[in-house]
Amino acid sequence: MSNIEIGLWSFPALMLAIFLRVPIGLAMFLAGFIGLGIVHGGFDIAMAKLKSETFTTFSSYSLSIVPMFLLMGHFATLGGMSQALFKAAEGWLGHRRGGVAMAAIGACAGFGAICGSSLATAATMGRTALPELRKYGYSGGFSTATLAAGGTLGILIPPSVVLVIYAILAEQNIAKLFLAAIIPGMLAAVGYVITISIYVRLNPDSAGVKPPVPMGERMRAIVDVWPVLLVFGLVVGGIYGGLFTPTEGAAVGALGTGLIAFANRGLDFKALLGSFTATARSTAMIFFIVLGAAFYNGFLAVTQVPQTMAQWVLDQGYSPFTVLIIILFFYLLLGCLMDSLSMILLTIPIFYPIISVLDFGLVDFIAMQHDMIREAIANGAAEGVAPDIMDQIKGLMAEGAEVPRKLSAELGVRLTEARANAIGIERTAIWFGILVLIVVEVGLITPPVGMILFIINAMDRSTPIVQTYKAVLYFISSDLIRVALLVLFPAITLFLLP
C-alpha cells in the first residue's frame, strides 16, 4: 500500500471510530499514531515525537488565547451582565410585536461580544430571558427557538474560540478574522429580528404584549451596560488597533469580566473555583482534540494526502463555487452530529488546502493596481515623473488596461502577480473561515440533535422539543439566506478589512 492509500484509508477508519463513540481527540490521536507507525514501519518515530510534541502543543503562545477566552466567558456568565443587557434591550424593544424575543436576540448579541462560546451564551441568556418571555405570553417553542438561535451569536460575534482555532489551522491573522466576523455577526442578529417579526405575524398567538417602559428607565438601563461595552471595546479594539496581541486581549478580557463579576457580587470564592473547573473541562477537551489533530495532521502531511487531494480537485476543473457549496453542505450535515470545534479541527486541514488553491476572483489584479496608482498620485508621487510617462499611465488606466510594471514603478507602485495572489489567498481564507463558522453553528440548532436545542429545551420542561424544532426552522432559514448572501457577495465579509 502506498503512503497516499494509507492516508486515504485513515478517513473511514477515523470516522468509524468517532461514530463508535470514541472521543474525537482520542480517535484522531490514534489514527495519527497508528498511521505513522504503518508509514514508517514501526512506532519509534511516533514515540520519539511524543517526547516533546504534547508539551509544545500545550505550550503554544497563540493557543493560550483559548483558556483565557474560556475563563472570560465563564466570568461573564456570573456577573449579572446578561440581566443588564436583557433589561436594556427589553426597554427599547419589548413593547413591539415580538419585542421581548427581539430583545433576547439583542442581549445575546451583546453577550456574544464578551463570550466566545455558543453553549455558554445560550445557557446564560436562557436562564435570564426564558422566564421573561414566558411571563409575557410568548409560546414555548417560539421562546426556546429564539434563545437557541440567539446562542449561536456567541460564536458568530467576536471574540470567538472557534475562529481562533480556525486562524491557527489556516495560519491566518486572528485580528483580521475577528474584524471580518463583525458584519456577518450583526447581519445574523438583524436576520433573527426580521425572522421574529415574520413569525409573530404568521402566528399571532405566539407572542403577548408588554407595556412600554418609560424613557428615563430606558436610559438608565442603557447606562448599566457600559461595562460590557468597555470590555468589548478594549478587547476587540485593542487587538485590532495593534495595542496588544490576541492573547493579551484575551487576558485583558478575562480580567475585565472578572472585575465586573466581582463588582456585581457574582464572583465569590466558590464561584471562582466553579469557573476554574468549568474552564478546566472545556479547555482540556479542546486541547486534547488539538493534540489529536496535531498528530493526525502530522501523519497526513507525511502521506501528502492534503496536497494530492487539492491537486486532484484542481485537475478536475470543477467550478470553485461548486466545490465551496459542496463543502459547506458537508459541514451542515456533519454539524448535526458533532460540536463545532471538533468539526473544524477534523476538517480544516483537509478542506483548507483545497479551498486555497481555487480562484474565487476575490482579487482583480488590474483594479488593485489602478487603485494603488490613484492612491500614489493622490499622495503626490506624480511630482517629478516625466509628463509623457504620466500621460501613458493615464491613457492605459482610462482603457482599463494593465500598466506595465516599468511605468508604475515610476510612481513607486510595484504590484506583482505573486503579491496579488497572496492577497487573494488571504481574502479567500478569511471569507471561507467566516462561512464555515456560520454553517458549523447552524448545526448546533439543527433538529434533531442540535446541542443548543437540548440545552435550552431542558430549561423549559413545559415545552415539548417538537415545538422547539418547528419554530427553529424559521431561524435556520434565516441562517441559510445569510450564508447564500455571503457566498454571493464576498465583499460583505471582506469590506472592513484594510
Partner 1 sequence: MHRFFLVLSKGMAYVGGAVLSALVGIVVLSILGRELNGLLHADLFQNNMKGLADWLIGFRIPGIWGDIRIGPFNGDYEIVEAGMAFTIFSFLPLAHIAGAHATVDIFTQRISDRQNRILTVLIDVAFAAVLVIIALQLFQGTLSKFQRGQTTFLLQFPVWWAYALSLVGAVIAAMVSVYLALMRIAEAFTGRHLIPTGAGADH
Which residue, 2 or 59, has its beta carbon nearer to partner 1? 59
Residue 428 Cβ vs partner 1, minimum distance, rounded to whole Å: 28
Residue 111 Cβ vs partner 1, minimum distance, rounded to whole Å: 16
Residue 490 Cβ vs partner 1, minimum distance, rounded to whole Å: 30
Q: Which residues contact 435 (CB under 8 A, 6 or more apart)?
A: 324, 328, 483, 486, 487, 493
Residue 275 Cβ vs partner 1, minimum distance, rounded to whole Å: 7
Q: Is 207 helix (H, G, I), strand (E, B) or coil?
A: coil
Which residue, 142 or 299, has its beta carbon nearer to partner 1? 299
Which residue, 333 or 409, has its beta carbon nearer to partner 1? 333
Q: Which residues contact 300 (CB under 8 A, 6 or more apart)?
A: 7, 10, 32, 35, 306, 349, 350
Residue 432 Cβ vs partner 1, minimum distance, rounded to whole Å: 23
Which residue, 75 or 192, has its beta carbon nearer to partner 1? 75
Residue 280 Cβ vs partner 1, minimum distance, rounded to whole Å: 4
The terminus-to-terminus CA distance of the chain in angstroms comes to 48
Residue 419 Cβ vs partner 1, minimum distance, rounded to whole Å: 30
- The whole-angstrom separation of Cα 97 and Cα 200 is 7
CB 468 within 8 A of CB 168: no
Residue 21 Cβ vs partner 1, minimum distance, rounded to whole Å: 5
Which residue, 182 or 451, has its beta carbon nearer to partner 1? 451
CB 339 within 8 A of CB 454: no
Q: Using CB under 8 A as the criterion, which residues of the chain lie in contact with partner 1 when the complex forms?
A: 18-26, 29-30, 33, 47, 50-52, 54-55, 58-61, 63-64, 67-68, 70-71, 117, 119-120, 123, 161, 243-244, 247-248, 251-252, 254-255, 258, 272-273, 275-289, 337-339, 341-342, 449
Dump the DSSP string for 92-136.
HHTTSTTHHHHHHHHHHHHHHTT---HHHHHHHHHHHHHHHHHHT
Which residue, 54 or 304, has its beta carbon nearer to partner 1? 54
CB 189 within 8 A of CB 153: yes
Dump the DSSP string for 367-405.
HHHHHHHHHHHHTTTTTTS-HHHHHHHHHHHHHTPPPPH
Which residue, 251 or 324, has its beta carbon nearer to partner 1? 251
Residue 26 Cβ vs partner 1, minimum distance, rounded to whole Å: 6
- The whole-angstrom separation of Cα 247 and Cα 249 is 5
Which residue, 281 or 405, has its beta carbon nearer to partner 1? 281
Residue 169 Cβ vs partner 1, minimum distance, rounded to whole Å: 17
Angle separating helix axes 65-76 and 246-263, nearest 10 degrees: 20
Beta strand residue intervals within 48-151, DSSP E: none
Which residue, 333 or 488, has its beta carbon nearer to partner 1? 333
Positive/negative CA dihedral, 328, 332, 335, 340: positive
Which residue, 21 or 406, has its beta carbon nearer to partner 1? 21
Extract the C-alpha cell encoding 174. 486572528
Residue reference for cell 440567539: 150
Extract the C-alpha cell encoding 102. 427581539
CB 15 within 8 A of CB 24: no
